[in-house]
DNA sequence: AACAACACCGTACATCGTACGTTGTTCGTT
DNA sequence: AACGAACAACGTACGATGTACGGTGTTGTT
């Protein structure tokens, strides 16, 4: 009864949903015509997550936004995690993919990292989903993968190394987005500005951060903090890190 | 009534808990003697998360493991997120910190990355907590920071660059742990082996992964997959990535 | 002896994902 | 034309979650 493998074959339900429309055009269905399409559900859910934040992403909220009863969502999607997978793949599918033209690999790979950062910044909920769940291979993921691999054309890397290099770059970008997401979340639910936070916690920290016990930490922490205006600056971290990433790949490519 | 800033001063409750015992030795308290210590709560919670997994980490479960009623936990800790912050800092505090001796920077930084990877592997729940919440500065975090900064002694990097370099390395390690965590979670709740998964989904993917449409993706994906025995191998990704990270830092340090 | 501070507990609430059974619409078959 | 299977949509309900709130009993201070 509850056998997932009974519908279109012995396959993952999510994969079939991701690649919907790529098979035979469906042999006519019975029952009432669906009042809403899966596309509508996915796009509404994305819009909701974008405007209300990832915490507002619930079955009930999505259903309400689409205009149906909570449980009716389950006629379109097996569950919440599958919905998020579909949302992610949708964004991957529609994200811009500018032609690489005659640019050098370094410029291309930099563009890959920046495009991913921009996407993750535009949809903060994406960060949490992608980081924790590794969404399955859909058409969006596939198109993205193809395009990003092309950034390494002409580097002379082996296929295996090309894959590893791209994975490395994407991992870096994802981590940056996650870190930025973390500081923003912390700022949001502390409810105070950096200055207020330091006014409140500075005394305690000053009394406890003994320069004799933590010589490097105190000195370097202060240097970094005053250079950036905060203990951690996502912009600085991204630009420093991306330079290191590219240098690290250069050592492999130009050897 | 619900003013957090009424205890030891106008400070964050979490910070005060993290640095407990570092202030004046408490001016005697009234009421019944606490039946359990905060240390006991923290260590029990860690043990519980280690054995039962991160999903089992709930107020009720921790309270039961410690041996008290659910709501009694709140006399020791303001809330669940604060508890996890304390758990993280505790692990940081007790993690091994071998002396650096005469090793070169590359070997030291590699050791930093590996130590962090090992810690995150030993406590998979740590990955989720650290990635999503950026725990505040406690004694464990501080000791860890001090020790890891020392790995960059003698590199000639400026204070600001040293901090950025360490952040870069830690971010890489964290991302690796997250990715590994992701594949393990996926494997766990798919409930099938890689072979079973491919047997079930191979046909659909084969029919849809058109080599003419995705030439690089199909070729390189297959190459990477068969080289590693899976679409993503955490061990390979870590070792490839760490080499790139070190090369990238070398370009900065040895310039 | 009276009071205030404190640890601990029980009940209760909003919110979450979702299992289950029902209702009404529609197509394929008789 | 009539019937039955398939299907979309819905309502109700369950077990979790974190935690607000008000009590109860123990203890040190006045």
SS3 for chain A is CCCHHHCCCCCCHHHHHHCCCCCCCCCCCCCCCCCCCHHHHHHHHHHHHHHHCHHHCCHHHHHHHHCCCHHHHHHCCCCHHHHHHHHHHHHHHHCCCCCCCCCCHHHHHHHHHHHHHHHHHHCHHHHHHHHHHCCCCCHHHHHHHHHHHHHHCCCCCCHHHHHHHHHHHHHHHHHHHHHHHHHHHHHHHHCCCHHHHHHHHHHHHHHHCCCCCCHHHHHHHHHHHHHHCCCCCHHHHHHHHHHHHHHHHHHHHCC
Which residues are in reach of strand C, CB within 7 A?
Answer: A 2, 28-33, 56-61, 70-71, 74, 79-81; B 29-36, 68-72, 74-76
Q: What confidence tens digit (pLDDT) does each residue in B101-110 have? A: 999 999 999 9
Q: From residue B224, how far is each of A162, A167, B185, B196 by CA, in Å?
A: 9, 11, 21, 19
How much is the pLDDT for B4? 35
How much is the pLDDT for B186? 81
Q: What confidence tens digit (pLDDT) does each residue in B209-219 have? A: 999 999 999 99
In the structure, what pLDDT confidence band is assigned to residue B99 with cuts at 50, 70 and 90? very high
Percent of chain B with pLDDT strictly greater than 90 = 76
A-to-B residue pairs, Cβ atoms closer than 8 angstroms: 234
The dihedral through the CA atoms of A21, A23, A27, A30 has a sign that is negative
Q: What is the 3-state secondary structure (H, E, C) of chain B?
A: CCCHHHCCCCCCHHHHHHCCCCCCCCCCCCCCCCCCCHHHHHHHHHHHHHHHCHHHCCHHHHHHHHCCCHHHHHHCCCCHHHHHHHHHHHHHHHCCCCCCCCCCHHHHHHHHHHHHHHHHHHCHHHHHHHHHHCCCCCHHHHHHHHHHHHHHCCCCCCHHHHHHHHHHHHHHHHHHHHHHHHHHHHHHHHCCCHHHHHHHHHHHHHHHCCCCCCHHHHHHHHHHHHHHCCCCCHHHHHHHHHHHHHHHHHHHHCC
The crossing angle, in degrees rounded to 10, of helices B80-94 and B124-133 is 120
In the structure, what pLDDT confidence band is assigned to residue B1 with cuts at 50, 70 and 90? very low
CB contact under 8 A, B163 and A251: no
How many other C-beta atoms are found inside a 10 Å radius of the C-beta of residue B148?
23
Percent of chain A with pLDDT strictly greater than 90 = 76
Q: Worst-scoring range by mean pLDDT, A92-101, A164-173, A182-191, B53-62?
A: A182-191
Structural domains in chain A, sorted by start? 13-25+32-92 (1.10.10.60), 101-195+209-253 (1.10.357.10)
For residue A2, pLDDT over 70 is answered with no
Query: Environment class of residue B177 by beta-carbon count within 10 Å: exposed (0-12), middle (13-18) or buried (19+)?
Result: buried
Average pLDDT over residues B84-100: 98
Task: Please give, rounded to a whole number of angstroms, the shortest distance from the CA of B13 to a CA of chain A.
Answer: 10
Average pLDDT over residues B18-43: 89
Q: Worst-scoring range by mean pLDDT, A4-13, A15-24, A181-190, B157-166?
A: A4-13
Question: Measured CA to C1', what is the nucleotide nearest A59?
Answer: C17
How much is the pLDDT for A11? 55
Question: A117 near A173, Cβ under 8 Å?
Answer: yes
CB contact under 8 A, B137 and A205: yes
Q: What confidence tens digit (pLDDT) does each residue in B37-74 have? A: 999 999 999 999 999 999 999 999 999 999 999 999 99
Q: What is the CA radius of gyration of chain A?
A: 23
How much is the pLDDT for B11? 55
Distance B27 CA to D24 C1' (A): 25
**Is any atom of nucleic acid chain D found less than 7 Å from the CB of residue A37?**
no
In the structure, what pLDDT confidence band is assigned to residue A105 with cuts at 50, 70 and 90? very high
Scanning every residue of chain A, which has its alpha carbon at the shortest distance from the alpha carbon of B243? A248
CB contact under 8 A, A131 and B178: yes
**Residues of B whose CB is below 8 A from A201:** 11-12, 15
How much is the pLDDT for A6? 32
Give the torsion through C-alpha atoms of B120, B123, B127, B130, to 10 deg. -90
For residue A223, pLDDT over 60 is answered with yes
**Residues of B whose CB is below 8 A from A240:** 161, 164-165, 168
Average pLDDT over residues A115-120: 98
Q: How far apart are CA B83 and CA B155, in angstroms?
A: 37
For residue A213, pLDDT over 90 is answered with yes
Q: What confidence tens digit (pLDDT) does each residue in A146-178 have? A: 999 999 999 999 999 999 999 999 999 999 999
How much is the pLDDT for B12? 79
How much is the pLDDT for A12? 79
Scanning every residue of chain A, which has its alpha carbon at the shortest distance from the alpha carbon of B233? A164
Substitution target in A116, A207, A216 with the highest count of B β-carbons within 10 Å is A216
For residue A221, pLDDT over 50 is answered with yes
How much is the pLDDT for A184? 87
């Amino acid at each position: 009864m509850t056998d997932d493998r009974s519908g279109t074959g012995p396959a993952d339900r999510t994969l079939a949903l991701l690649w919907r429309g790529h098979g035979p055009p469906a042999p006519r269905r019975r029952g009432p015509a669906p009042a809403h399409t899966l596309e509508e559900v996915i796009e509404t859910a994305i819009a909701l997550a974008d405007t209300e934040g990832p915490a507002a992403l619930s079955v009930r909220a999505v259903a309400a936004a689409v205009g149906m009863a909570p449980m009716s969502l389950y006629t379109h999607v097996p569950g919440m995690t599958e919905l998020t997978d579909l949302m992610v793949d949708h964004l991957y599918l529609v994200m811009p993919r500018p032609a690489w033209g005659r640019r050098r690999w370094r410029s291309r790979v930099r563009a890959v990292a920046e495009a991913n950062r921009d996407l993750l910044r535009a949809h903060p909920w994406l960060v949490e989903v992608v980081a924790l769940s590794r969404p399955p291979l859909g058409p969006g993921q596939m198109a993205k993968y193809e395009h990003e691999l092309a950034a390494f054309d002409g580097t002379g890397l082996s296929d295996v190394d090309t894959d590893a290099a791209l994975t490395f770059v994407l991992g870096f970008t994802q981590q940056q987005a996650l870190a930025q997401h973390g500081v923003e979340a912390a700022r949001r639910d502390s409810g105070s500005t950096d200055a207020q936070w330091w006014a409140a916690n500075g005394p305690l920290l000053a009394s406890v951060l003994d320069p004799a016990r933590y010589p490097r930490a105190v000195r370097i922490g202060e240097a970094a903090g005053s250079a950036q205006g905060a203990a951690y600056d996502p912009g600085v971290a991204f630009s420093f890190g991306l330079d290191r990433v590219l240098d690290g790949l250069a050592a492999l490519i130009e050897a």
